[in-house]
Structure 1
Amino acid sequence: MARIIVTGGSGFIGTNLVEYFCSKNHEVINFDIKEPKNRQFIKNWIKGDVLNKDQVLSCFTEFNPEYVVHLAARTDLDENKSIAGYAANTDGVQNIIDIINTFPNIKRTIYASSRMVCKIDYIPENFDDYCPPNLYGESKVIGEKKVKAYANHDYVLVRPTSIWGPYFEIPYRTFFDTVRKGLFFLPKGNYPKKSFGFVLNTVFQLEKILFEPKENLELTYYLTDYPPLDLKEWADMVSNEFGIKKTRELPMPILKIVSKAGDLLQKIGWQNPPLTTFRLNNLITNMVYDTKSLEKLCGKLPYSLDEGVSMTASWLKKN
């Protein structure tokens, strides 16, 4: 049994992680500004903001954790004015670093970054090669650099890729909901490979990274399932779960028109149109990451793609 603080434990990955660690009989605290999505774990929740250093210190002092998984962040892509809008991802990370530096009993900390430290079509030469596509990505680059510069403790950086599953929100809940309504279309003849991750496999990977001896670990990992999935195969699986025989396809010129309309709707205030040029580009671009070190560490993942889709569809039908 271990004492674990999960910051951001009321978010998507955090909700699944808190539930998983509790099922393993660990002592778990969810430090988050928001209430848990799963009310069963309200007893594990301490309300707090990573931007409030006194609140963070109070939680750490009272609980005296052995391990920390830092997931707390602003994760939307809506900010387009100033990096200050993502202070949780920069100043919040610095607060966590400063406090953990003063707790020598903490055995390991996992800091969650994002695949968006590089744009989708950019292949970095190494983990210090950055090319963020937006302010959110820039904020995550700053967070990574702060960890590397100031963390005087045992840590691992993780970059979740495109993670999906129970308790998810935008954009992949939108994808499942759009498929469910029969409104999802793939570009005809365009079936890219994607490094996506089912959240319960992600949770399994985080557990491995948290407790593995240091000598067996890399400094940074992309979190994703392996091998990469075929987007059409995945979409067909999701369609089948909702009684739709297969994914519909449209010619690219039509999808480009729809995506431009989505851009316009976004500009006039619709925050989540079904398709924008940003999403269309993500849809048609291969996104494959090197998972050799992750596979060596974690081995076979507990859930297949088919099982993940079935569990997610079942959760959606109930929620």
Structure 2
Amino acid sequence: MKILITGGAGFIGSNLSEYFLAKGYKVVCFDNFSTGHRHNISDFLNNKNYTLIEGDIRNLESCRKAVDGVDYVLHQAALGSVPRSINDPITTNDVNVSGFLNMLVASREGNIKRFVYAASSSTYGDSEALPKVEENIGKPLSPYAITKYVNELYAEIFSKTYGLETIGLRYFNVFGRRQDPTGAYAAVIPKFVMQLMKYESPIINGDGNYSRDFTYIDNVIQMNELALTTKDIDGVNTVYNTAYGDRTTLNELVNILKVNLSKFDPKIKDVEIIHGPSRTGDIPHSLASIEKAKRLLGYKPQFSIEDGLKEAVNWYYNNLK
């Protein structure tokens, strides 16, 4: 099979590319390198089953070119980050909504068999219920959250109106190898790791008691493969939480990181943690129910937060120094 991975040079996209190439799939990477990196895909460029198309999902003709001859789409391309969306809602909307719609249109025209896309746990918004169950959401708390919810609405319409099979995967705080620790909107885990390795004090927003369902990349890869390959008609044209199903506070997270990093450098355990103001648009607590994914897709996450952080810290320490 031939798979198009949009955002294929990004953190999740490049991991998906590596996995499916290893399984013998043909992979097309479609990326404009606004947040992805060429070094993430350098090992794939000489693989005869790998094709790189440099382009932007905001351009419909580029999307049509990317889906040509493709069987399945794994749509990962997006502008992430709640703070970025608050600072620049227009660009976030252009990429995440208009670009998403372009990909749906191109996929429908190209007779794509299934369109699997990265949704977001931010869709749960101000809902305080825990754990988060797919059918019960609140009101969005940021422009980014609005765009990801609109993605789900568009996907549902394209399924009902045009018969395009779609599956949305609501990612919960994904982490792991190749995640970028730099930039204003870097994810918290690689950013903290890089700071700790430099003996710099990580800044936790708020008192550190906000909690997240941190999800290791290999669990996310498993969910993408299950969504791509399921033959159960009840399992398509819906959305799934993509998580481990446990939550960790930011204070607990930093302590786990310090313990793991101290095995490489004992001085890291003495680095002080600083607490700053809470961040606008942040959800206080996030915990996924993964029962739906277990029931309909056969999902069995292999990596807990502790297991995933051991793997990730080893990779970060050897690659971020």
Instruction: State the TM-score bracket (shorter-chain normalisation).
Output: 0.7 to 0.9
What corresponds to 1:11 in structure 2? 10
> Among residues 28, 39, 42, which one is paired with 1:39 in the alignment?
42
* CA shift for structure 1 position 236: 2.9
Give 1:1-319 correspondences, 5 Å limit.
2-34=1-33, 36=38, 37-43=40-46, 44=50, 45-61=52-68, 64-76=69-81, 77-80=83-86, 83-86=89-92, 87-104=94-111, 106-119=112-125, 122-123=128-129, 127=135, 129-151=137-159, 152=162, 153-169=164-180, 170-172=186-188, 173-180=190-197, 181=199, 183-184=201-202, 193-217=211-235, 219-229=238-248, 232-243=251-262, 255=275, 258-259=276-277, 277-278=278-279, 285-296=284-295, 297-319=297-319
Identity across matched positions, percent: 20
Give the Cα–Cα distance (whole angstroms) in 2 for the partners of residues 97 and 42 of structure 1. 27
Is the deviation greater in 131-140 or in 18-27?
Answer: 131-140
User: What does the per-residue CA deviation read over 1:174-214, in whole Å, with 9 as the maximum and x for residues that have no partner?
Assistant: 13223443624779997565311001211111111110113
Is the deviation greater in 209-218 or in 197-206?
Answer: 209-218
Figure out how many residues of one structure are paired with residues of the other and give that number: 291
Root-mean-square deviation (CA), in Å? 3.0
TM-score by length of 1: 0.80
DSSP 3-state at the match of 2:84: coil
Is the deviation greater in 89-98 or in 303-312?
Answer: 303-312
User: Is 1:120–1:287's contact at 8 Å kept on the other side of the alignment?
Assistant: no
TM-score by length of 2: 0.79
Give the Cα–Cα distance (whole angstroms) in 1 for the partners of residues 205 and 84 of structure 2. 26
* CA shift for structure 1 position 154: 0.8
Letter in 2 for 1:171: A
* CA shift for structure 1 position 70: 0.6
User: Is 2:142–2:281's contact at 8 Å kept on the other side of the alignment?
Assistant: no
Give the Cα–Cα distance (whole angstroms) in 2 for the partners of residues 315 and 140 of structure 1. 30
User: What does the per-residue CA deviation read over 1:196-255, in whole Å, with 9 as the maximum and x for residues that have no partner?
Assistant: 1001211111111110113351611111113334655543332112115869887xxx83
Unpaired segments of 5 or more residues in structure 2? 181-185
User: Is 1:4–1:28's contact at 8 Å kept on the other side of the alignment?
Assistant: yes
